[in-house]
């Protein structure tokens, strides 16, 4: 677990980059730091691995103040992906990825196996890339190498500073999916910086939204979207926050909350699986692919039907008093 206890950072005695921040990141939790440029995200990460000194307060990593960790322990425990991928241009890809294992003195066999494994994990062929230099890779490939490098010594904690920042939306999306897949396998404690709320909603177990060095809200994505704590949060997540929240729920969630309706057995109605995201359901209904959908469980048993009204009722229930109009139907 990482604990931030009243942490502040003042640069040059005057610039308050981080202002009295307190929150906890549980083991295996994926936490996203979001907020406008200059709000202190990078500074917060860099205090965890002692690249910046903490001005006030404490950061505790598994019951030990990070100030007490020495450099070797630090490298074992904390992987770091910096904002620009930070690969060394004059080192091969293999050397770049294996910097920390090399420092830790791993033997040849263990190194080889680890390199091959990591490259497979990030979807690049080990032999094809081993001897290349960073400039011989595309931007997206370089960012993946940055991620592999941070994972190399299998640290329990990862700090990732906009690792997918400079990518076009398609590659970015693919890397996000890949990384979520990787995280399912490796289950690390992750602090991940982004300035993209959609990325945060998609990837994070929790989101910490920062402004001017202060935490505005720290909670699960659905809480941030459905119950923004103040106007800044509400503006930051956007007018369409209620629609965004549909990607967090499936038909099953809807069934549990508001129930499905009986369906007309004789009519020909389009069927969808109950694990389908409400976002997809919504777009099917709004694009008038169907007025009504029949819901099937994993075994193909029909459980009931839903229409746009069900989705409205569900969202209303989720956002409660905060609903600034959950009107989905257009005339």
Ligand X SMILES: Nc1ncnc2c1ncn2[C@@H]1O[C@H](COP(=O)(O)OP(=O)(O)OP(=O)(O)O)[C@@H](O)[C@H]1O
Residues lying near ligand X in the complex (CB under 6 A): 11-12, 15, 17, 37-43, 195
Residues near 204 by beta carbon (within 8 Å), at least 6 away in sequence: 30, 31, 32, 192, 221
Among Mg ion, ligand X, none, the one that 15 touches (CB under a kind-dependent 5 to 8 A) is ligand X
Report strand pairing: 189-193 vs 206-211.
unpaired
Question: What are the φ and ψ backbone dihedral angles of 83, each rounded to 5 degrees?
Answer: -55, -45
Nearer to ligand X, 43 or 246 (CB): 43
Shortest Cβ 88–ligand X spacing (Å):
22
Of 232, 151, 164, give the one whose Cα is nearest residue 192.
Answer: 164
Question: What are the φ and ψ backbone dihedral angles of 123, each rounded to 5 degrees?
Answer: 75, 30
Is residue 51 helix, strand or coil? coil
Yes or no: say if 222 and 314 are a contact pair by the CB < 8 Å rule: no
Shortest Cβ 83–Mg ion spacing (Å):
5
Among Mg ion, ligand X, none, the one that 39 touches (CB under a kind-dependent 5 to 8 A) is ligand X
Shortest Cβ 7–Mg ion spacing (Å):
16
Nearer to ligand X, 137 or 233 (CB): 233
Neighbour tally for 115: CB within 10 Å:
20
Shortest Cβ 274–ligand X spacing (Å):
39
Nearer to ligand X, 213 or 228 (CB): 213
Shortest Cβ 219–Mg ion spacing (Å):
22
Q: Where are the alpha helices (DSSP H) in 187-302?
A: 197-203, 221-226, 231-237, 241-245, 251-258, 278-286
Nearer to ligand X, 39 or 293 (CB): 39
Shortest Cβ 260–ligand X spacing (Å):
43
Among ligand X, Mg ion, none, the one that 40 touches (CB under a kind-dependent 5 to 8 A) is ligand X
Nearer to Mg ion, 19 or 94 (CB): 19
Nearer to Mg ion, 9 or 310 (CB): 9
Of 328, 323, 283, give the one whose Cα is nearest residue 310.
Answer: 328
Residues near 160 by beta carbon (within 8 Å), at least 6 away in sequence: 80, 81, 147, 150, 190, 191, 192, 193
Shortest Cβ 2–Mg ion spacing (Å):
18
Among ligand X, Mg ion, none, the one that 16 touches (CB under a kind-dependent 5 to 8 A) is none
Q: What is the dihedral of CA 101, 121, 177, 28, to 10 degrees?
A: -50
Among Mg ion, ligand X, none, the one that 11 touches (CB under a kind-dependent 5 to 8 A) is ligand X
Is residue 287 helix, strand or coil? coil
Per CB under 5 A, residues contacting Mg ion are 42
Whose tokens are 């860099």? That residue is 46
Q: How far apart are CA 17 and CA 39, in angstroms?
A: 7
Nearer to ligand X, 55 or 316 (CB): 55
Among Mg ion, ligand X, none, the one that 195 touches (CB under a kind-dependent 5 to 8 A) is ligand X
């Amino acid at each position: 677990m990482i604990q931030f206890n009243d942490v502040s950072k003042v640069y040059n005695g005057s610039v308050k980059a981080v202002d009295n921040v307190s929150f906890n990141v549980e083991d295996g939790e994926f936490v996203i730091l979001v907020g406008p440029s200059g709000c202190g995200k990078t500074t917060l990460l860099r205090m965890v691995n002692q690249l910046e000194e903490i001005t006030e307060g404490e950061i505790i990593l598994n019951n030990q103040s990070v100030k007490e960790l020495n450099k070797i322990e630090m490298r074992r425990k904390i992987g770091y992906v910096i904002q620009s991928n930070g690969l060394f241009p004059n080192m091969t890809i293999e050397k770049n990825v294996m910097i920390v294992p090399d420092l830790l003195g791993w033997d040849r066999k263990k190194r080889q196996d680890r390199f091959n494994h990591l490259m497979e994990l990030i979807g690049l062929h080990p032999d094809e890339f081993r001897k290349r230099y960073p400039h011989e890779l595309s931007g997206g490939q370089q960012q993946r190498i940055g991620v592999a490098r941070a994972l190399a010594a299998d640290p329990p904690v990862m700090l990732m500073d906009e690792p997918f920042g400079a990518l076009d939306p398609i590659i970015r999306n693919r890397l996000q999916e890949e990384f979520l897949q990787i995280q399912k396998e490796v289950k690390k404690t992750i602090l991940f910086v982004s300035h993209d709320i959609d990325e945060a909603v998609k990837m994070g177990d929790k989101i910490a939204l920062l402004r001017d060095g202060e935490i505005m809200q720290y909670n699960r994505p659905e809480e941030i979207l459905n119950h923004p704590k103040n106007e800044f949060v509400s503006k930051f997540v956007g007018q369409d926050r209620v629609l965004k929240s549909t990607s967090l729920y499936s038909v099953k969630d809807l069934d549990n909350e508001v129930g499905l309706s009986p369906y007309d057995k004789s009519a020909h109605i389009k069927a969808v699986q109950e694990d389908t995201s409400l976002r997809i359901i919504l777009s099917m209904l709004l694009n008038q692919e169907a007025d009504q959908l029949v819901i099937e469980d994993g075994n193909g048993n029909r459980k009931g039907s839903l229409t746009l009204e069900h989705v409205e009722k569900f969202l209303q229930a989720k956002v409660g008093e905060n609903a600034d109009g959950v009107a989905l139907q257009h005339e």
